[in-house]
Amino acid sequence: MKQFAVLTATGRDRVGLVDEFTGNLLARACNIEESKMAVLGGEFAMIVLISGESEAVEEIITAAAAGKLSHHLEVSAKPTVSHATMENGRPYRIECVSLDTPGIVHAVTSLLRERNINIDELETETGGAPFTGAPMFHMRITTMLGPEVHVAELRSVLMEVAADHDLDIRISPIVPMAEE
């Protein structure tokens, strides 16, 4: 029977980490269903959803707990289930850009929580603005809006947050690319 686990792994960034890590998963007959990987500071971080037969997933979880899944990464593993999709859900992206100031992520995510809107993905980055080099903050959120969510109302309250925090916020539907 197919089972799932979420693995989190961090370690000093270096060439070959992903190759070694994914090789260990493959050697234990597990498949990567989804993953997010990035260099954060001097560390490399991964969040990976794996699947496999029960015995294989249990072996990964046991190896992670014993520190035997990787010599170069701190790994934790947790059993999970496959992600349930929302019936009649509409995929949307919320993007924010502003000068980097504390509290932006909290302000936007609090608003979503108040409206019972779940976050599927959230990504942030800070970089220098063109020409001035001022620290600019960029956040991207992917969510699935249920039929009870009125997009115009959500857009309106997001604009209030934008005014309060001097942000540029955009909410847009995620539409598939047209086939050629």
The whole-number pLDDT of residue 83 equals 76
Same domain, 97 and 168: yes
pTM listed for this prediction: 0.83
Last residue of a domain, one of 80, 112, 141: 80
- HSE-CB for 136 with a 13 A CA cutoff: 13
Establish if 153 belongs to a structural domain.
Answer: yes
* Residue 178 counted as domain residue: no
What is the Cα–Cα distance from 17 to 117, expressed in whole angstroms?
Answer: 35
Rounded CA separation 13/24 (Å): 18
Give the whole-angstrom CA distance, residue 141 versus residue 121. Answer: 6
pLDDT of residue 178: 66
Boundaries of domain holding 73: 2-80
Identify which of 129, 111, 109 has the alpha carbon closest to the alpha carbon of residue 119.
109
List, for the chain, all residue ranges whose pLDDT scores fall below the cut of 70. Answer: 178-180
What is the percentage of the chain residues whose pLDDT exceeds 90? 84
pLDDT at residue 87 in the model: 79
Spell out the SS3 assignment of 102-163.
CCHHHHHHHHHHHCCCCEEEEEEEEEECCCCCCEEEEEEEEEEECCCCCHHHHHHHHHHHHH
Q: What is the pLDDT of residue 179?
A: 65
